[in-house]
Amino acid sequence: MDRASKEGGIADGPLSAFADVLIIGAGYTGLAAAVTTARGGRRTVVVDAASAGWGCSTRNGGQVSTSIKPTLGQLARKFGHKRGRRILMEGRNARRWIEDFIAREKIDCDFRRCGRFHGAHNARALEKLCRQIDSEPDGLESGAWPVARGEQRGEIGSDFYHGGAVFPHVASVDPARYHHGLLRCAKNAGAEIVTHCAAHGIRREGRGFTVATARGTLRAREVVVATNGYTGRVVPWLRRRVIPVGTYIIATEELDAARIKELLPTGRVVTDTRKLVYYYRASPDGRRLLFGGRVLLKESAPMASAPRLFEAMTRIFPQLKDVRVTHCWGGTVAFTFDALPHCGRRGGVHYAMGYCGSGVSLASYFGMRTGQKILGLREGETALDGLPFPARFWYAGRPWFLAPAVSFHRWRDRMGW
Ligand SMILES: Cc1cc2nc3c(=O)[nH]c(=O)nc-3n(C[C@H](O)[C@H](O)[C@H](O)COP(=O)(O)OP(=O)(O)OC[C@H]3O[C@@H](n4cnc5c(N)ncnc54)[C@H](O)[C@@H]3O)c2cc1C
């Protein structure tokens, strides 16, 4: 029995022959969609190739942000000013929605609006960050304030950065406990969760679909693909549009409360302006430092990344040189060629994915909106619906260009760009 089975009463049960809605993937996207459709009275089945939450949704860094990466200028050039604003607003909607949802459903997952310190890795990056904050468009202000290098010790027990900025609306969550709460909501709403049941193929038949899985075939009126960084051959069209990228975390041994307070005096989560960003925070129980990033050129076992992450962590916090690392892990996120998440429908099949490493709020929100669309609700429509989902003729799902790209970004970070 897997972990989700023990904790949530989810059995590796048999697969039904029919569903109104079949959802492939039991992470935040799939479960938020399932809660919505099951509560809307649709017979909902969620299948996952592994255990529920085996993907990124139980092992991420737990930083909850507004998450849309491109700026208004970049979006306006492509989609017009009005649509660009609406796209950025969706990031804010997602951040607000997840906070309300967790409160409404009483999910005990240590959700805290702690704010984020975003460290500048050089003076130029600090200037750029300050300019960005000063020129935030009306109605899209983040409420961020700059932190000068001389004041940085108030935010972080390190002189590594050249100052930075605080983004007060960023929150933190215990990712696995949040996932566990979503799983409970989906189960209580009547969704059937079938684990260790990979979907192998989707065929359109009449007004519905026949989906072949490891546990037999199921007929469904609607299908949602919610596989993000683990998107495989089931929908080749999607596979060509998402770039799977590994990211890794180490956890220190338990540290005493005074030491954690010295590292992170305000209790905020941290990221930085590097291209190969480091992200870190105190663990939800406040006893360890969790430090994450992408440090190797190629995908590797987490054990191979751990020493390099330790080096990075101790460059920022030399006072941790004597501290042991007790855990390490990693997972695969999905980037896209336009740095935007995508949700929509193709060939009748719904999808939501491509959160570019920041999916805690976006995955939950776009999953929920996808569920609303299936229920025929107007509020299910989002500013991202129907955006072109770019592919490249030279890419079929294997990111052969990742090592040179990581190498290039590493060089830029070293050169201080
Ligand atoms: C180390 C790490 C740190 C991160 N830190 C943060 C952070 O701090 N903040 C943030 O916002 N985001 C973070 N993320 C990203 C975030 O976790 C993801 O964007 C989010 O969890 C995506 O959720 P999802 O439901 O779309 O996909 P996942 O949770 O990855 O779930 C996809 C599921 O699909 C299943 N699947 C795949 N193929 C099939 C198939 N054929 N049949 C059945 N099932 C299938 C997989 O088994 C998997 O369980 C991090 C990710 C990692 C790995």
Domains and CATH numbers, the chain: 3-60+176-242+338-386 (3.50.50.60), 116-168+244-335 (3.30.9.10)
User: Does pTM top 0.85 for this prediction?
Assistant: yes
Please state, as a whole number, how many other Cβ atoms lie within 10 Å of the Cβ of residue 272.
Answer: 22
Q: Whose CA is nearest to atom 2 of ligand 1?
A: 60
- For the CA of 27, the closest atom of ligand 1 is 25
264: Cα separation from own chain's centroid: 23
- For the CA of 249, the closest atom of ligand 1 is 1
**Structure tokens that stand for 130 in this block:** 């300050």
E runs forming strands in 227-288: 243-252, 269-272, 279-282
As a whole number of angstroms, the distance between CA 395 and CA 178 comes to 34
For residues 167 and 114, the answer to whether their CB atoms sit within 8 Å is no
Q: How many helices (H) and strands (E) does the chain have?
A: 11, 18
For residues 174 and 62, the answer to whether their CB atoms sit within 8 Å is yes
As a whole number of angstroms, the distance between CA 23 and CA 213 comes to 12
For ligand 1, residues with CB inside 6 Å are 24-30, 47-50, 54-57, 59-63, 198-199, 226-230, 232, 234, 247, 249, 279, 292, 330-331, 333, 353, 355, 357-360, 363
Residue from 10, 12, 60 whose mutation best tests the ligand 1 pocket (most atoms within 8 A of CB): 60
- pLDDT per residue as tens, the chain (417 positions): 333 344 444 556 678 999 999 999 999 999 999 999 999 999 999 999 999 999 999 999 999 998 899 999 999 999 999 999 999 999 999 999 999 999 999 999 999 999 999 999 999 999 999 999 999 988 899 999 999 999 999 999 999 999 999 999 999 999 999 999 999 999 999 999 999 999 999 999 999 999 999 999 999 999 999 999 999 999 999 999 999 999 999 999 999 999 999 999 999 999 999 989 999 999 999 999 999 998 887 888 899 999 999 999 999 999 999 999 999 999 999 999 999 999 999 999 999 999 999 999 999 999 999 999 999 999 999 999 989 999 999 999 999 888 888 888 888 888 877
